Structure 1
Amino acid sequence: MKLPRFGVEEWLNVHEKDALYDIAGVSISALTLEELFELTHQDLSTFFQELSRKKLDYGWIEGSPEFKREVCGLYKTIQPEQILQTNGATGANMLALYALIEPQDHVISVYPAYQQLYDIPKSLGAEVDLWQIREENNWLPDLDDLRRLIRPNTKMICINNAHNPTGAIMDEAYLQELVAIAESCGAYILSDEVYKSFSNQREAPAIADLYDKGISVDSLSKAYSLPGIRVGWVASNKEVADVLRDYRDYTMICAGVFDDILAAFALKNRRVIMERNQKIVSENLRILNHWLAEEPRAHAILPDHVSTSLIKLDVPLPIEDFCKQLLSDYGVLLVPGNRFDLEGYVRLGYCGDKDILKTGLSKLSQCLRRFN
């Protein structure tokens, strides 16, 4: 099993601690424990008192009943035995691919996207076809392209919905057509669903609710602003869940007592977290839109209230070289698009601290003016 370097993570691991203005991250402004408990009007000291009496054993191996109950509330058809807790969505993707993909399998993956979705199947010996996103299609891949790629023996189709890095959303009508294509050959659909639209008009249903062989992956890291507890999950039909259980013993034992308790608490109070985050996304998206309108060297098809965006920059040098200059001279961190095989673009996360966003965009414009 040989894997290439993980382009985005390698870039962030090397550079994110050097940034004064980090507008590369695509989680919505991370919560502190204090902020979380103020938001939910709960007493933090009481929580810690109860936690101090908990035995720090392995806890609930698949996730506590409370955690599973709250996760089920995110779906229409999923029962607790169909939920497995994982080490973030990264762990959930790894588990599903490791358990279901074998040498010589045929896999189709949206490309570019989160790198796990195509490089892990390749490393397991699968033949992987790349289903290209298209800028002229608002960054969605073309379903007719998928029809040309599909084979009678296609084992799995991997998608990222909403998409990383563009924020493009496959809506219900699109997903229903995708399901029909998958059904034609009995393929699984693995859907990484960590990014959410905070638009009142757009909602992408979970693939596990639309398709019996749909596998939904999610976590608390992006839309719920708690990347630090590293809790995710995979939702699937009962047969797949049983297969994943066997492989899960090889990938992790448990998420940890503290992480599970906090994850269940956050999901129980998800309404107020989502209201808080909807406000952040809406306000910061207005800032980004205004900046784009004023900046002649930047262009974008912006997502519908999704926390990641892909920006085209008009600069006369390779985009990674530009991003290195931007970081060293102005302290601003972006993800260069070549890390997604999208030369000339950058991934910009606009849902962090509002003042950092404003200053980061201002300094980005200063850097761009060098080329006027």
Structure 2
Amino acid sequence: MRIDPFGVEQWMNAHEDHCRFNIAETCVDSLTVGGLLELAGRNDDLSALAPTRLGYGAIPGSNRLRDAIAALYRGRSREDVLVAHGTAGANALVWQALAGPGHRVVSLVPTYQQHLSIPESLGAEVVRVPLSAAEGWLPDWDAVARAVTPGTKLVALTNPNNPTSSLIDAEGLSRLVEIARAVGADLLVDEVYRNTAQEGDGATPSIADLYERGIATCGMSKAYSLAGLRLGWIVGPPDVLEAVALHRDYTTISVGVLDDHLAATALEAPERILARTRAITRRNLALIDDWIATEPRVDWVRPRAGTTGLLRYGIEMGSEALCLALLEEEGVLLTPGGVMGAEGYLRIGFGNATEILQAALPRLSAFLARQD
């Protein structure tokens, strides 16, 4: 099976350990084990782990963990949940189970490259529906409806969007459900940035709560600040989970028992962790927004959720060349839009430690000024 190189991951692998100021990061500032236990009110939990037997865990995920995940959705039980190795593992399993030669897939772009390259590698026809900055990186529903023709197997998107952090609200998702239901298509929504909205309590809708053929993938890496657990999940219809489970036996067996335990600990006290996430992302987004107001060489569509945004820049230089020069001269790491199908843009993260942004933004301005 041939598959395209994963542009974003290859960029990060090559450069994230060789910078002074990483503002390309997509995760919210990672918790320590001690920090997690303190937020969860489980300061004695490490000693409770001592007798844990380090064998295979429960194959679909422990009952405790699946109960905690199910509680994040409406009217769901543990039987509606299958645990995977991160959201990336969850996405890969869904594609392996559902996509193949002759299948028509519609993906809203820009998006996480899994939702393009994996189905293409499996022989599916992938139809791209572009989002535009002029429309706030939100879908043109007429264009989506034209793309989702009879016989469409699956519609895929990220919501909140990766990399723009636009957010399709419940009304928009209901429109998407109407389009998919009309042709009997499944809806795969990668929700790894769910519950990071910039307004109110941060809650964002899940496709699993809105559509009987909705498939939600999510995980601990972004909003829950626990990327090191490498733990994600799938919530969806019984036939989808059954098909996924067949593939999962070949790739996953079970997740680590310590990962399972710590994820359950976090998800039994989700609001405390999400409150920390809101504080970090809202503070940092305001910081970047204020910087953009004084920086004439960049602009953006202000994110409504998530942890990243796309900066449009007004310099005659390719995005990858710009990022390499910035890294060399200032030690600042951004992600070039060119590695994610968004040339002319730079991806910036606002989930990292605030002091990193405060140090990096003046250096970015100095670099841009020199290009004049």
Matched, 1:340 2:334: no
Code of the residue aligned with 1:315 in structure 2: it is: I
| One-letter amino acid of the counterpart of residue 55, structure 2 | D
Partner of 1:58: 56
> Which one-letter code corresponds to 2:206 in the other structure?
A
Which residue is 2:199 aligned to?
200
Conservation of the 8 A alpha-carbon contact between 1:189 and 1:213: yes
Q: How does 1:207-218 map to 2 (within 5 A)?
A: 207-218=207-218
Verify: 1:356 aligned to 2:364, yes or no: no
Partner of 2:153: 155
Alignment pair present for 1:135 and 2:133: yes
| Structure 1 residue aligned with 2:10 | 10
1:203, distance to aligned residue in structure 2 (A): 4.1
SS at match of 1:12: helix
Assess if the C-alpha contact under 8 Å between 1:285 and 1:305 holds in 2: no
Tell me, which stretches of 5 or more residues in structure 1 are unaligned? none
C-alpha separation in 1, matches of 2:369 and 2:132? 29
SS state at 1:225 partner: coil
Separation in 1, partners of 2:71, 2:292: 38
Q: Which moved more, 1:153-162 or 1:136-145?
A: 136-145
**Which amino acid in 2 is paired with 1:269?**
A
The CA distance in 2 between the partners of 1:258 and 1:354, in whole Å, is 30
Contact 1:198 1:281 in 2 (8 A): no
**What code does the residue aligned with 1:234 have?**
I
Deviations 1:203-251 (A, max 9, x none): 4311111111110000000000000010000000122211211121112
Instruction: Show the counterpart of 2:318.
Output: 318
Cα distance in 2, alignment partners of residues 39 and 100 from structure 1: 38
**Which residue of structure 1 aligns with residue 100 of structure 2?**
102
| Inter-partner Cα distance in structure 1 for 2:223 and 2:74 | 19
Q: For the residues of structure 1 that align with 2:64 and 2:231, how far apart are their CA atoms?
A: 14
Q: TM-score, normalized by length of structure 1?
A: 0.97
Equivalent residue number for residue 79 of structure 1? 77
Runs of 4+, deviation exceeding 6 Å = none
State the Cα distance separating 1:37 from its structure 2 match: 2.1
State how 1:149-188 maps to structure 2 within 5 Å.
Answer: 149-188=147-186
Q: CA deviation at 1:41?
A: 3.4
SS of corresponding position for 1:348: strand
Q: TM-score, normalised by structure 2?
A: 0.97
SS of equivalent to 1:24: coil
Tell me by how many angstroms 1:146 deviates. Answer: 1.2
Displacement of 1:198 in angstroms is 3.2
Aligned partner of 1:309 in structure 2 is: 309
Q: Any conservation in 2 of the 1:171–1:203 contact (CA below 8 Å)?
A: no
User: Contact 1:108–1:158 (CA<8 Å) still a contact in 2?
Assistant: yes
Task: Give the direction of change, closer, same or farther, for the CA distance of 1:208–1:41 in structure 2 (3 Å limit).
Answer: closer
- 1:127-169 CA-to-partner distances (Å, cap 9, x unmatched) read 1100111111101121111111122110000010000110011
Aligned equivalents of 1:125 and 1:49: distance in 2?
49
| Cα offset, 1:34, TM superposition | 1.8
Percentage identity across paired residues of the two chains:
39
**TM superposition shift of 1:281:** 1.1
* Matched-pair contact (CA < 8 Å) for 1:319–1:345: yes
What is the one-letter code of the residue matched to 1:127? E
1:302 CA displacement: 1.1
2:302 is paired with a residue whose SS is: coil
Q: C-alpha separation between the residues in 2 aligned to 1:367 and 1:11?
A: 20
How many angstroms does 1:305 deviate by?
Answer: 3.7
Which one is further off, 357-366 or 46-55?
A: 46-55
